[in-house]
């Protein structure tokens, strides 16, 4: 095996692992900040600190720092205002793509089938819920995850831009997700 091939074989698994961990952390950071969520935050930060330095680590670290510097109630109120009370920036991808109820139902079915295809039945949330999709994608091989991430890429890009326009820190999380999608498209797609 050539030296270049050895290097590539060492780099790709490390980057894939980092990408999957970044998707998992992204899912966590975009989830509702319940008391349990807040309680787990120090452990999440400890795990994040163990990552190799990278742009992904830096971006997600900025969000972690922001959250840790906010009072729990203030952050929860901000989260609810941004994601639950705003039709402009919510966590449901079909709200960005679908223009009518029939189209939205069809899109929801695509997301539901994706969960079922990988052995999951999502009962607590709608299947287009961003944190649930990212959590699932973090457990899959990149080629499998890329399928659904590409399907939702336009909606994720729209959500990211709206968060940027609203000067919301969660835009960094979507930057990370979209960087991973672009990297995987370049190597797998």
pLDDT tens track for 178-188: 999 999 999 88
* Residue 104's pLDDT band (cuts 50, 70, 90): confident
CB-based contacts of 110, cutoff 8 Å, min separation 6: 151
pTM over 0.95: no
pLDDT tens track for 133-169: 999 999 999 999 999 999 999 999 999 999 999 999 9
CB burial of residue 143 (10 Å; 0-12, 13-18, 19+): exposed
| Per-residue DSSP letter, 123 | -
3-class secondary-structure state, position 100: coil
CATH of the domain spanning 15-186: 1.10.3480
């Amino acid at each position: 095996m050539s030296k270049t091939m050895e290097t590539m074989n060492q780099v790709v698994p490390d980057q894939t692992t980092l990408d999957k961990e970044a998707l998992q952390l992204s899912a966590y950071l975009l989830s509702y900040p319940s008391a349990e969520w807040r309680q787990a935050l120090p452990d999440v930060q400890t795990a994040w600190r163990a990552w190799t330095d990278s742009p992904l680590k830096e971006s997600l670290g900025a969000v972690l720092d922001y959250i840790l510097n906010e009072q729990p109630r203030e952050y929860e109120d901000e989260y609810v205002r941004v994601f639950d009370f705003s039709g402009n920036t919510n966590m449901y991808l079909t709200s960005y793509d679908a223009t009518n109820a029939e189209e939205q139902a069809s899109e929801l079915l695509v997301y539901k089938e994706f969960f079922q295809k990988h052995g999951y039945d999502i009962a607590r949330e709608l299947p287009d819920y961003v944190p649930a999709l990212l959590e699932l994608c973090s457990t899959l091989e990149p080629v499998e995850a890329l399928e659904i991430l590409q399907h939702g890429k336009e909606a994720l890009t729209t959500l990211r831009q709206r968060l940027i326009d609203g000067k919301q820190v969660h835009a960094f999380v979507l930057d990370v997700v979209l960087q991973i999608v672009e990297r995987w498209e370049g190597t797998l797609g």
